[in-house]
Amino acid sequence: MIDAAELIDNAFLRQFELKIEDHLAKIEYSLQERKIFLTKIYIPEELFTEDFQNEFIKLVLKNIEDRNISIVPTCPQIVKFFRKNRQYKSMLPVGLRI
pLDDT digits (tens, 9 = 90+) for 34-57: 999 999 999 999 999 999 999 999
3-state secondary structure of 55: helix
The length of the chain is: 98
Q: Is residue 2 part of a domain?
A: no
Work out the average pLDDT over 12-23.
95
CA pair distance 97, 89, nearest whole angstrom: 9
**Structural domain tally of the chain?**
1
Three-state secondary structure call for residue 20 = strand
**For all residues of the chain together, what is the average pLDDT?**
93
By residue range, what is the domain housing residue 29?
A: 7-91
User: What interhelical angle do 50-67 and 76-84 show, nearest 10?
Assistant: 80
Residue 62 sits in a domain whose CATH number is 3.40.630.30
Residue 25 has a CB neighbour count (10 Å cut-off) of 24
pTM of the predicted protein model: 0.93
Whether 43 is covered by a domain: the verdict is yes
pLDDT tens string 66-97: 888 999 999 999 999 999 999 999 999 988 88
Residue 68, amino acid: N
Residue 14 domain-assigned (yes or no): yes
